[in-house]
Amino acid sequence: GAGVSQSPSNKVTEKGKDVELRCDPISGHTALYWYRQSLGQGLEFLIYFQGNSAPDKSGLPSDRFSAERTGGSVSTLTIQRTQQEDSAVYLCASSSSTTSPGPQETQYFGPGTRLLVL
Amino acid sequence: GDSVTQMEGPVTLSEEAFLTINCTYTATGYPSLFWYVQYPGEGLQLLLKATKADDKGSNKGFEATYRKETTSFHLEKGSVQVSDSAVYFCALARGGYNKLIFGAGTRLAVHP
């Protein structure tokens, strides 16, 4: 079946502009995650959505970052007033996990959006 | 807080050599442990996982055993191929906390 898809695959923007990144999770997956992969910081967790629960935003680096998930499926990550340090690959993942403690369900990753802020 | 430490790369090997990439973790409770691989130009893929102590994950000739006593999850392969050249990430996820915490990644280059 179809995997996680992300768009655009590449985005070049000017400092100070807003950008929106989109993620389509695997059909039926209730959990959705955003991560960021950058040279200086490695792979970092940003935000996690699980069903209709309040999202875990603990990884968002500043209030310029926000994300929403509409209808329990597609998610959009928005970065306002972009800065050069926001340049990175933004990865989306989905899984069928629940909030119950225990063995974690596998997270399946999309190909990422490569963001370059000039 | 929770963390994962991997051996620094790059690791350069000849084809058919034995591979070990060390990974240790710090976490409370009993996390699940993962190895993800990123081939050149591709996205992250799950390579293998283990969810409890003494479990062995295996896939594509790679193996890793969950060692609680040494808080380790070292990745091994008996005979690497050129096609194994990639970046390998060790990661953990703690029960009830679904985010993955990744190590810094280890780049593997295999030469013919």
Q: Which residues of B touch A88 (CB under 8 A)?
A: none
Q: Tell me what pLDDT residue B16 has.
A: 96
What average pLDDT does range B75-86 have in this prediction?
Answer: 97
Q: What is the pLDDT of residues A77-111, one digit of tens each?
A: 999 999 999 999 999 999 886 555 455 678 899 99
Rounded CA Rg of chain B? 13
pLDDT bracket for residue B96 (50, 70, 90): low
Pick the more confident residue, B35 or A104.
B35
pLDDT at A1 over 70: no
Report, in this order, helix, strand and coil percent for chain A, each rounded to 5.
Answer: 5, 45, 50
Q: Tell me what pLDDT residue B87 has.
A: 95
Report, in this order, helix, strand and coil percent for chain B, each rounded to 5.
Answer: 5, 55, 40
Q: Tell me what pLDDT residue B98 has.
A: 73
Q: Tell me what pLDDT residue A98 has.
A: 57
Chain-centre distance for alpha carbon A53: 17
Q: What is the pLDDT of residues A14-59, one digit of tens each?
A: 999 999 999 999 998 888 999 999 987 789 999 999 888 888 899 9
Pairing mode, strands A42-50 and A5-7: unpaired
Q: Tell me what pLDDT residue B5 has.
A: 96
Q: Tell me what pLDDT residue A36 has.
A: 96
Q: Tell me what pLDDT residue A101 has.
A: 47
CB A102 to CB B52 under 8 A? no
Rounded CA Rg of chain A? 14
Q: Tell me what pLDDT residue A104 has.
A: 63
Q: What is the pLDDT of residues B46-68, one digit of tens each?
A: 999 998 899 999 999 999 999 99
Q: Do A13 and A19 contact (CB within 8 A), yes or no?
A: yes
Q: Distance between CA atoms of A34 and B79, rounded to whole angstroms?
A: 35
Q: Kindly report the average pLDDT of chain A as a whole number.
A: 90
Residue A82 at interface with chain B, using a CB cutoff of 8 Å:
no
Q: Distance between CA atoms of A90 and A92, rounded to whole angstroms?
A: 7
Scanning B44-63 for CB atoms below 8 A from A yields 44-46, 49, 51-52
Q: Distance between CA atoms of A71 and B79, rounded to whole angstroms?
A: 47
Residue B6 half-sphere exposure, CB side, CA atoms within 13 Å? Answer: 26
Scanning A97-116 for CB atoms below 8 A from B yields 97, 99-104, 106-112
Give the whole-number percent of chain A exceeding pLDDT 70.
92
Question: Which among B17, B23, B19 has a CA at the least distance from the CA of B73?
Answer: B23
Q: Do B43 and B87 contact (CB within 8 A), yes or no?
A: no
